[in-house]
Amino acid sequence: MKNLFLFLTLFVLSLRAKAQENQVKQDSTKTEKLDEVLVKAVRVNADSPITHSNVSKEALAKRNLGQDIPILLNFLPSVVTTSDAGAGIGYTGIRVRGTDATRVNVTINGIPYNDPESQGTFWVNLGDFASSTESLQLQRGVGTSTNGSGAFGASLNLLTDAFSEEASAEIANSFGSFNTRKHTVKMSTGLINDHFEFSGRFSKIDSDGYVDRAFTDLKSYFLQGIYKDDNTLIKALTFSNAERTYQSWFGLTAEQLQENRRQNPYTYDNETDNYWQDHYQLHWNERLDNNWSTNLGLNYTKGKGYFEQYKLGESAADFANLIEDDSDVIVRRWLDNNFYVLNANITYKKNLLEIISGVSYNTYDGNHFGEVIWGSDLAANTNIRDRYYNGDATKNDFSVFSKATFKLAKKVTGFIDLQGRFVNYKTNGLTPDLAEFVTDATFSFFNPKFGLTYKSSDFNSFYASYGRANREPNRDDFQVGVTENETLNDVELGWRFNTNKVSVNTNLYYMFYQNQLVLTGELDDVGSPIRATSGQSYRLGLEVDAAIQFSKVFSTSTNVAISSNKNRNFNTVINGELLDIGNTNISFSPDLVIGNALNFFPVEKLQLSLLSKYVGEQYMGNTDNPESKLDSYFVNDFNINYEIKPNSMFRSIILSGLVNNIFNKKYVSNGYFGSFDFEDPSSTTGTTTGYFAGYYPQATTNFLVGLTIKF
């Protein structure tokens, strides 16, 4: 591996020298606009009446020492993150305004990333992807029209690395607590003959996890080739990740948490998740003239993998009679899927009018099956890897949209965004419980958005918007009998104030739902959250995001989100009776979330930051049961970055350090909660409801240090 790094470094240095001899400087403004077309259809600009936050490559790099992208976004407004293994690597999640990860629409260069069936985003399959991200935008609320599963609380779109004018190379290594290591090598040829560039990244991330044996092993790469001229940008890119993680999704009981918060109830050595995912994208951006431009995007994603489990004393009927009753068994449950995407957009811009119209079509096919790979007492004629269940699924998703930004008056800008989305989902075969699962569901959605921006001065602007989103159930919802779609109406009112030294973004939102699928707090047998329809519900909140540059050496960035998140007239079964318990708090929706960064620049190229996060108490269920409450927590991190510009073959040397949870807070950021009924002769109904809860402890004080060398 060392020889490979040395070879790549020398290779890139030679190309860099050649490129510098032959390079003719280009008009970077034109090229930048073409590059932005990749995400223009799903992003909004600074004056748009859509509530959003932008994060640059430079901002990501300061904390990019191996942790997943959700953890790097932890300090954005209304964001709450969690990690199954406790250390921010592996299975991590993000919630925005209390909405769970399946409702955060994620796109990469405009290509949908959410799994079409579960609608979730598995960041464990994007190891070190922050190192290949040029920028990202998080839109809160309905946002603008996007591709793939509808945004039902937020959308997050990532733009991958822009091309480099000059040849370069980069080697980054970081080490830290829990035997965490990240090794990354990047390279770029720079522009060859003013038109071509090839670049790539190879990464390896390992961590033992804060939770016992909750290790993560990630291998990934990102490769890209581009062609450009004054009016054309063509990008062909591929990225891939292979992951192996030890299961830790079961969490701990309250007693186990007190006894040893780092313990893991799993004991089988190979209780692991194993998954491989390969992505191939082609993007062609063309400027037809000063007013018209087009974008064509193609994608193919191949995913395949399994998780392995050891089960004790199982029933033969649960495994299609491949084992004898009361046999121990080891099974692998597989996913094998293909995902194809076509995006096509056209943009017209003249003077104060911009219109973007486009279509997106994606199709998915997936095979779900389970294998018996060992049994203490196999049935006669059973062979290893015989399947005990098998099921197929297909999903087709077509959408068409048109959005326009236009001047209504000297200080007033209008925004209209209309989208039609059409979904068909089919399944056939058996579930892991050996139940027949046959579905053929079709949905047709109309999702309008309207907004106005009033710019009263060079520093002040106000906006108002309304947006509607509809969303189909996911695979798990269909399995428990949910067939109706959800509808979200979102009203946003905002004020933005911007000067050279002060930036303030304030917005008030009201999101009201019909048939919202809220998390019940319970998990299924593979650790996925179970959802149930809550009828009518709403989220009402105020968000304030402010950045102040006090001087050349001191700045601060603060955000506060205050909200009320309620189910209306919530019905539930307690002690055998169906009761209307009135308005209740929506699960996993804290009323107060605060993020803060204090930045100190004592000398040039040195930055010290104190990062603070407060998350208020939240319920893991929807009945306001005290046993389902997660306590509030306040956690502080310390981040240091120092860049050295040596007069040598190195372009720069960057030293980074991150101390997480510097005050050693013992906290829990996530969990699960459920109920069960048992016979009780003393009860009037003959049954009594009992409750159970599980918790995911997060790491106490831990550190990461890194060294990046750029050539």
648 pLDDT higher than 70: yes
**pLDDT at residue 158, rounded to an integer:** 96
CA 383, CA 261: separation in Å to the nearest integer? Answer: 40
Residue type, 492: E
Task: Kindly tell me if the per-residue pLDDT of 482 is higher than 50.
Answer: yes
pLDDT at 709: 96
- In this prediction, residues 479-494 reach a mean pLDDT of 94
Q: Which residue segments constitute the domains of the chain, with CATH numbers given?
A: 2-29+166-710 (2.40.170.20)
Q: pLDDT value at position 685?
A: 72
Q: What is the pLDDT of residues 545-579, one digit of tens each?
A: 999 999 999 999 999 999 999 999 888 877 777 78
Element (H, E) at 597: strand 592-600
- Average pLDDT over the chain reads 91
How far apart, in whole angstroms, are the C-alpha atoms of residue 674 and residue 587?
A: 12
Helices (DSSP H) in 425-573: which residue ranges? 475-479
Q: Which amino acid is at 472?
A: E
d(C-alpha 122, C-alpha 367), whole Å: 18
pLDDT digits (tens, 9 = 90+) for 164-174: 889 999 999 99
Give the whole-number percent of the chain exceeding pLDDT 70.
95
d(CA 88, CA 66): 8
Q: What is the pLDDT of residue 29?
A: 42
DSSP class of residue 252?
A: B
Q: Which residues contact 453 (CB under 8 A, 6 or more apart)?
A: 47, 48, 49, 412, 413, 415, 461, 462, 463
pLDDT tens for each residue of 55-100: 999 999 999 999 999 999 999 999 999 999 999 999 999 999 999 8
Q: Sort strands 104-108 and 153-160 into parallel, antiparallel or unpaired.
A: parallel
Output phi, psi for 34, to 5 deg: -65, -40
pLDDT at 17 over 90: no
Are residues 679 and 687 in contact, defined by beta-carbon separation less than 8 angstroms?
yes
Q: How much is the pLDDT for 34?
A: 65
DSSP lists the bridge partners of residue 486 as 471
What is the CA 343 to chain-centroid distance, rounded? 21
**How many Å apart are CA 190 and CA 17, to the nearest integer?**
10
* Distance from C-alpha of 185 to C-alpha of 7, rounded to nearest angstrom: 12
User: Hey, what are 496's tokens?
Assistant: 């933005």
Yes or no: say if 282 and 226 are a contact pair by the CB < 8 Å rule: no
pLDDT of residue 40: 86
Q: What pLDDT score does 33 carry?
A: 61
Binned at pLDDT 50, 70 and 90, residue 519 comes out as: confident
Question: Residue 610 burial (CB < 10 Å; 0-12/13-18/19+)?
Answer: middle
- Is residue 11 very low, low, confident or very high in pLDDT (cuts 50, 70, 90)? very low
Count Cα neighbours of 154 within 13 Å in the Cβ-side half-sphere: 27
DSSP-derived letter for residue 586 is: P
Q: Residues 660-674: what's their mean pLDDT?
A: 95
* 226-230, 554-558, 580-584: which is most confident: 554-558
Supply 258's token pair: 């007190």
Task: Tell me how far the alpha carbon of residue 309 is from its chain's centroid.
Answer: 26
Q: Does the pLDDT of residue 14 top 90, yes or no?
A: no
- Lowest mean pLDDT segment, chosen from 224-228, 506-510, 686-690: 686-690
490 within 8 A of 504, measured Cβ to Cβ: no
- Report the distance separating Cα 526 and Cα 532, nearest Å: 17
Give pLDDT, residue 101. Answer: 85
Q: For residue 284, name the pLDDT band (cuts at 50, 70, 90).
A: very high
Work out whether strand 584-585 and strand 216-228 pair parallel, antiparallel, or are unpaired.
Answer: unpaired
The answer on pLDDT for 327 being more than 70 is yes
Condensed to tens digits (0 to 9), the pLDDT of residues 361-411 reads 999 999 999 999 999 999 998 999 999 999 999 999 999 999 999 999 999
Question: How confident is the model over 121-166, as pLDDT tens digits?
Answer: 999 999 999 999 999 999 999 999 888 887 888 999 999 999 888 9
What's residue 28's pLDDT? 39
Residue corresponding to tokens 């409750």:
691
C-alpha pair distances (Å), 494 with each of 50, 449, 513, 551: 9, 16, 21, 28
Q: Mapping DSSP to helix (H, G, I), strand (E, B) and coil, where does residue 671 land?
A: strand
503 has a pLDDT exceeding 70? yes
Over residues 160-217, the pLDDT tens digits come to 999 888 999 999 999 999 999 999 999 999 999 999 999 999 999 999 999 999 999 9
Give the separation between CA 113 and CA 106, rounded to whole angstroms.
Answer: 5
630, pLDDT greater than 70: yes
Token pair recorded at residue 343: 């995006």
pLDDT class of 520 with cuts at 50, 70, 90: confident
- Phi-psi sector, 178: left (phi>0), alpha (psi -120 to 50), beta: left
Q: What is the pLDDT averaged over residues 331-351? A: 96
| pLDDT value for 464 | 97
Distance CA 563, CA 544 (A): 12
pLDDT > 50? residue 23: no
- 87's tokens: 């250390």
Tell me what the mean pLDDT of segment 223-232 comes to: 94
